[in-house]
Structure 1
Amino acid sequence: MKHFPIVLLLLSFLLQACNKKSSSQTNTQTGNTTVATFMNPLLSSGPDPWVYKKDSFYYYMHTLGNRIELWKTKAMSDLKNAAVKTVWRTPATGANSRNIWAPELHFIEGKWYIYYTAGASGDLNTQRTFVLENAAADPFTDTWVDKGQIGDPAAAHLFSIDGTVLEYNGKNYFLWSAHPSNTEVKQYLYIARMSNPWTLETARQLLSSSDYDWEKKGGTQWVNEGPQALKNVNGNVFVIYSASGCWTDDYALGQLSLKKDSDPLLKSNWTKHPFPVFSTYAANKAFGPGHNGFFKSPDGKEDWIIYHANANSGEGCGDLRSPRIQKFTWNADGTPNFGTPVQLFTAIPKPSGDK
């Protein structure tokens, strides 16, 4: 389960006030060098954040529940001042009329696509994955076309969320989280090859289930969700995913590594890291960090991760989760090193080339 709105007006007001103060752009003097800095969180609220960079612009989205909005900026560190546009609203009724979660913007085969999760009612078991298409050069313009539900037809009746796309060796693959059956409510990760941006060519194949104790926190509904593709300069492919219940402070990021030049549809070609690669760091006010994305700095020299986290323990799956970014590096073996979540309201050097 991804999103449980919390009406805490006082806390929200205080967080917004802090965010307005802390997110302002500053310059930090280091010796004889002035370093431009910013502070997390980027916004006071932003569950399931996503960033896509094309040309000189970054496009940002997050879960809003009843609509899809798109932010457009040249500087992720200054997201709070980005242009914002509502690009789609829910219909009054239908399969995609409720609980809009985790939208992602992708540019595929010359067109823009938004993959998102939605349901038909307040019953979260109706949640499925859907696609919107836009043929305009700028996703802020033109009309988005509803391409319908995307998924394995044989599993179309099952809970299905958090769709994303992996491009690998000239082919596109759809990755998402879903129940394995009507009777087993655990969330597994699945993968299928795509015939076009809104249709799957193959049946879904199991990619990951909860194998370790750290993936099983939060009761019997063991969770693997929010898969995101990541590649290094050598062509190695990783899937970074969120594990355990988002309603717990144990929500964390796990890592799958693909055997080089192998078939991504075969689970045996993926290796799971035995421990979380990014997790709660109470001292820095980062509880339940997860549902991440990745982007390059404006000059292309740095790798950055975006994720949401709560500022306090026990705040769960609601709107108190805020979007944060930080630079990450690579280990000698080519795997990503995300470090620990950085401190809130602390000056951080802007992404390289960010003016």
Structure 2
Amino acid sequence: MNGVVYAQSFQNPVLDSGADPYSIYVDGFYYYTHTVGNRIVLYKTRNLANLRQAESKTIWIPPKGTVYSHEIWAPEIHFIDKAWYVYFAADDGDNTNHRMYAIQNTSNDPFSENWEFKGKLAAHPDRWAIDGNVFDYKDQLYMVWSGWEGDVNEQQNIYIAKMSNPWTLEGNRVLLAEPTHNWEKQGDLNDAKNPPHVNVNEGPQFLEHNGKVFIVFSASGCWTDYYSLGLIEFTGDDLLDPVAWDKKSKPIFIKSEENGVYAPGHNSFFKSPDGSEDWILYHANDNPGDGCGGKRSPRMQKINWNDDGTPNLGVPFSTQTKLAIPLAN
């Protein structure tokens, strides 16, 4: 691009800072975003290994004084029915009011100024919600997200609902998973700066491979080194049937003290430009105790598949490890 010759290997992290990384691939380019907090920033590159050299732009800043003016978390960009959408969680400055929202751009170029606020996405009942992930399954749009059962923070669960259009949830939300294992409940209750509850399932991501469907999610407090990824496998006929989902008893991606990678979580997935490789994007810390703030940086690595069809994410690679970039066309 622009005559620049890029290296054929890279080292993590792909940016110095950026939590909750997400990307899509459209017409030869990756469009990437992560949590900034007060706005939405978009990157554009032909290969995510070259993210440091990517064009970037702030595409949307919330108006002041609204219920969605603060704490913009985990944005995701999607291209649906020839229109661009960014989904994000936001509040009015009070975390208890976090909800999911959408903006839309119907132009060809998501870097254009044509972003329109479409409103809140809420299923019944309308409760605290973050980390929405939208996907298409058998020509039906769905959203999965992390939410509270009631109006107080007792624990974070994974919910799913159908969508009647790309900015509207339809009907009742359905509970897919809640924290049940010790590795989903890690947190420091003695630290007054941290939330009092550590039962956390969040950051759900849809993943499909060879006819199998999964939700990969993050578990435990993001402020702990034990933040990790779990797996739910779809084993039935109806995505809205809780019985049709099987949560694995062990995490599938955890910290590596040997490799100096802590609190790996809030991931997404992408394919290499040539479509032959599956990759994971995730954030992690370089040191123990780095917490749930600006020290989290986006990383990526190729994943494999187990004989039973489940994803094998491996071990987080050291920042000293040179990795081959995703295969280009």
TM (normalized to structure 2)?
0.94
- Letter paired with 2:91: G
Among all aligned residue pairs of Structure 1 and Structure 2, give the percentage whose two residues are the same amino acid: 46
- Which runs of structure 1 show a deviation greater than 4 angstroms over 4 or more consecutive aligned residues? none
Aligned partner of residue 133 in structure 2, secondary structure? strand
Query: Are positions 1:57 and 2:29 aligned together?
Result: yes
Q: Answer 1 or 2: which has greater helix percent.
A: 1
**Distance in 2 separating the partners of 1:155 and 1:202:** 9
Among 184, 189, 194, which residue is 1:215 paired with? Answer: 184
Q: Which residue of 2 aligns with 1:112?
A: 84
State how far apart, in whole Å, the 1-side matches of 2:320 and 2:61 are.
33
**Aligned position for 2:95:** 124
Contact 1:25–1:38 (CA<8 Å) still a contact in 2? no
Measured at CA, do residues 124 and 183 of structure 1 come closer, stay the same or move farther in structure 2, by a change above 3 Å? closer
Matches within 5 A, 1:302-313: 302-313=277-288
- The DSSP-based 3-state class of the residue aligned with 1:80 is helix
Letter in 2 for 1:185: E
Distance 2:151 2:102 in 1: 24
Deviation at 1:332, TM superposition (A): 1.0
- The residue identity in structure 1 corresponding to 2:251 is P
The range that moved more, 180-189 or 77-86, is 180-189
How many angstroms apart in 2 are the aligned matches of 1:185 and 1:178?
10
**In structure 2, how many angstroms separate the alpha carbons of the residues matched to 1:39 and 1:69?**
23
Q: Deviations over 1:298-328 (max 9, x none)?
A: 1111000000000000111101000000000
Q: Which amino acid aligns with 2:184?
A: E
* AA of the residue aligned to 1:127: H
Matched, 1:333 2:308: yes
Residue pair 1:136, 1:142 contacting (<8 A) in 2 also: no
Please name the residue that 1:225 is paired with.
Answer: 202
**Counterpart code for 2:142:** Y
Structure 1 residue 25: deviation in Å? 5.8
**Partner Cα separation in structure 1 for residue 151 and residue 19 of structure 2:** 27
1:282 deviation in Å? 1.3
Distance, in Å, in 2 between the alignment partners of 1:119 and 1:132 is 15
Q: Does 1:320 align with 2:295?
A: yes
Matched with 1:47 is 19
2:234 is aligned to: 258
* Paired residue secondary structure (1:202): strand
Q: Which residue of 1 aligns with 2:192?
A: none
Separation of aligned partners in 1, 2:18 and 2:73: 11
CA distance in 1, matches of 2:13, 2:152: 39
1:137 Cα offset (Å): 1.4
Q: Is the 8 A contact 2:231 2:247 kept in 1?
A: yes
Question: Does the CA contact (< 8 Å) of 1:105 and 1:112 recur in 2?
Answer: yes
Partner of 1:240: 216
Instruction: Provide Cα deviations, 1:105-141, integer angstroms capped at 9, x if missing partner.
Output: 01112211100011101x2111111000110112112
Partners of 2:55 and 2:6 in 1: how far apart?
17
1:240 maps to amino acid: V
- Displacement of 1:169 in angstroms is 1.1
**Residue 184 of structure 1, CA deviation:** 4.8
Separation in 2, partners of 1:237, 1:278 = 18
Q: Deviations 1:30-58 (Å, cap 9, x if unpaired)?
A: xxxxxx21111001001111111112100
User: How far, CA to CA, are the matches of 1:270 and 1:72 in structure 2?
Assistant: 35
For 2:314, the aligned partner's letter is: G
In 2, distance between residues paired with 1:182 and 1:128? 12
**TM, length-normalised to structure 1:** 0.87
CA contact (8 A) 2:205 2:217 kept: yes
Q: Over aligned residue pairs, what C-alpha RMSD do you find?
A: 1.3
Instruction: Give per-residue Cα distances to partners, 1:174-223, cap 9 Å, x unaligned.
Output: 11101100245310010001000111122100011001111011153310
Runs of 5+ consecutive residues of structure 1 not aligned to the other structure:
1-23, 27-35
User: Deviation digits for residues 60-84 of structure 1, max 9, x if unmatched?
Assistant: 1010011000000001111000000
Aligned residue for 1:175? Answer: 144
1:163 aligns with 2:140: no
Which among 69, 78, 81 is matched to residue 53 of structure 2?
A: 81
Distance (whole Å) between structure 1 residues aligned to residue 113 and residue 223 of structure 2: 38
